[in-house]
Amino acid sequence: MPTFPVVASLALSALVAASPAQAAPCAALDAVPDAVLGAPLLVLGEVHGTREVPDFVAAYLCAAAQQGRKLTLAIELPSSEQAGLDAFMASPGLAPDVARLIGGGMWRSARQDGRTSAAMLRMLQALHALRAGGADIRLAAIDTDAPSARRDAAMADSLRAALRQGAGRQVVALIGALHATRTRGNRFNPHYESAVYLLADQRLLALTVGTAGGAAWVYRGADPASCQATAWDINRITPAPATPFSLTPPSPQFDGVFYVGATTASPPALQGAATAGEQ
């Protein structure tokens, strides 16, 4: 039996290789707890800029779709990207449709912090293939268009709206782990209130990514040249969990962990030959 990270990668390879009109069956995650599948709001706190996290999310959504769940994936992209995401999901998903999706906005921003990586694009292509195969999947861009003190509050409002608009759907939020913490304050700001903290009245499950170390595409500082593949050892878990999900809280900040194994950096979509996928 292949280990979980290999299974997730195989799932994505199969999905992206499929033609938009004939989506291949995906290799879904094994051993997904009922508490994960049943959470109205599942928050996955990630490290941006890895290949493995978007692969994991696509494989999870495949598993949930196979269980008959209706799904909304909420991603940390500005709301100005929503029209482009909707147009892509409604398109045939061919190369010109991909080119239109990544032709402007954040995809061409000088600041490439991992949220518009080749792996993120490949995840969107995988979801397009799942939807072409009959899955009920929507996308929601929940971030603000300009950083502000109300950024987390705005993301929380967007997630509330997604929950209201999607009665009976599971909303899966893929956001930076800082925005996914249950507790108030962090090492940078004792008064910080994350999006998840502001959603404490909702039935949600907040998980943080676990890794075996590796690398991520990281943005460091104001100079766009500082965006690069960087060794990244945060969130290392030893020994590795036996299953993709652990619902033992690693700290008061989270309800559990989703485990992706060793990570590799995923470059920006425009730099990473995204339409062909990473080999």
Domain boundary assignment for the chain: 4-276
Please name the amino acid found at residue 191: H
DSSP string over 4-26: HHHHHHHHHHHHHHSBTTBPPPP
CB 197 within 8 A of CB 254: no
162: enclosing H helix or E strand: helix 151-165
pLDDT at 133: 92
Q: CA dist 196 to 25, 44, 61, 184, Å?
A: 33, 11, 21, 10
d(CA 123, CA 138): 13
pLDDT tens-place values along the chain, 279 residues long: 333 333 333 333 333 333 343 444 576 888 899 999 999 999 999 999 999 999 999 999 999 999 999 999 999 999 999 999 999 999 999 999 999 999 999 999 888 889 999 999 999 999 999 999 999 999 999 999 877 889 999 999 999 999 999 788 999 999 999 999 999 998 889 999 999 999 999 999 999 999 999 999 988 767 777 788 989 888 999 889 899 999 999 999 999 999 999 999 999 998 854 434 443
d(CA 16, CA 14): 6
Token pair of 126, please? 């995988």
CB 35 within 8 A of CB 27: no
pLDDT at 225: 73
Helix (H, G, I), strand (E, B) or coil at 161: helix
CATH number of 4-276: 3.40.50
Token pair of 55, please? 């692969």
Lookup result for tokens 């050892």: 233
CB 130 within 8 A of CB 66: no
Model pTM greater than 0.85? yes
Half-sphere exposure of 123 (CA within 13 A, CB side): 29
CB 97 within 8 A of CB 86: no
130: enclosing H helix or E strand: helix 118-132
CB 230 within 8 A of CB 215: yes
pLDDT at 109: 87
pLDDT at 260: 96
Phi, psi dihedrals of residue 264, rounded to the nearest 5°: -125, 145
pLDDT at 272: 56
pLDDT at 8: 38
